[in-house]
Amino acid sequence: MTEAELDSTLVASFFALMGEKGVTHATLPAAAAHAGIDLATARGGPASRVAMIMKFGELADAFALAGAATEGSVRDRLFDLLMRRFDFLQLHRAGVLALLRHLPFESALAACMAKASLDSMGWMLEAAGAATGGPLGALRKKGLLAVWVWGVRAWGQDDSADLTTTMAAVDTALNRADQLAARFPAPANTTSPAPPVPEAPSGVE
């Protein structure tokens, strides 16, 4: 088993356990046992609950980026990337929802996930062709995070097979972002889009 395969298997098992038994009952040893992996091998994977959750975010990014559209507008490519990320979350839906329900009770983990989610939005922007450097890039990442959070709220209530409700929410949020971005024209020396900054409820991945 390669390192990547080990990480993927342990993370999937860990999130399955969170969905079945709750966040506090999910541990590396329990995830290893659930996946049929001995502890000596599992020791080479994410070593803590936080590390497991952070690895999940990295895997979600990789899933989205691996199939990213290479043509179309920045806005359309962002829509595709975010929906691919939701496709990954959907594969582990019960565990992700359990984690989201738990976050209000563990502020340190919520803060860690918020930072990781912001970093993830940077990867999505770069893949869509929008630069993320400097103050303008920082605003873009915060704006796209707001779009993501809005989508997560919808996804949590979306029981459709094709995530119709989630797609509509992301589409609406991106449209709102375009409207607000028009109020903040990019400097003359850059052709990148202005930062999307839609209003959205607070939350994290």
Q: What is the pLDDT of residues 72-110, one digit of tens each?
A: 999 999 999 999 999 999 999 999 999 999 999 999 999
Give the domain ranges of the chain.
71-205
pLDDT of residue 187: 52
For the chain, where are the alpha helices, taking DSSP H only? 3-21, 28-35, 39-42, 49-66, 74-91, 93-102, 107-128, 134-157, 164-181
Comparing 14-23, 62-71, 109-118, 143-152, the range with the smallest average pLDDT is: 62-71
> Considering the chain, what is the average pLDDT of its residues?
88
pLDDT of residue 181: 67
Side-chain-side CA neighbours of residue 198 (13 Å): 21
pLDDT of residue 1: 85
Side-chain-side CA neighbours of residue 166 (13 Å): 24
- Cα(8)–Cα(24) distance, rounded to whole angstroms? 20
Give the range with max mean pLDDT: 35-44, 116-125, 186-195: 116-125
At 134 the three-state DSSP class reads helix
Q: How confident is the model at residue 185 (pLDDT cuts 50, 70, 90)?
A: low
At 72 the three-state DSSP class reads coil
The answer to whether the CB of 55 falls within 8 A of the CB of 48 is: no
Q: Would the pLDDT of 134 be above 80?
A: yes
Q: Would the pLDDT of 186 be above 80?
A: no
pLDDT of residue 203: 42
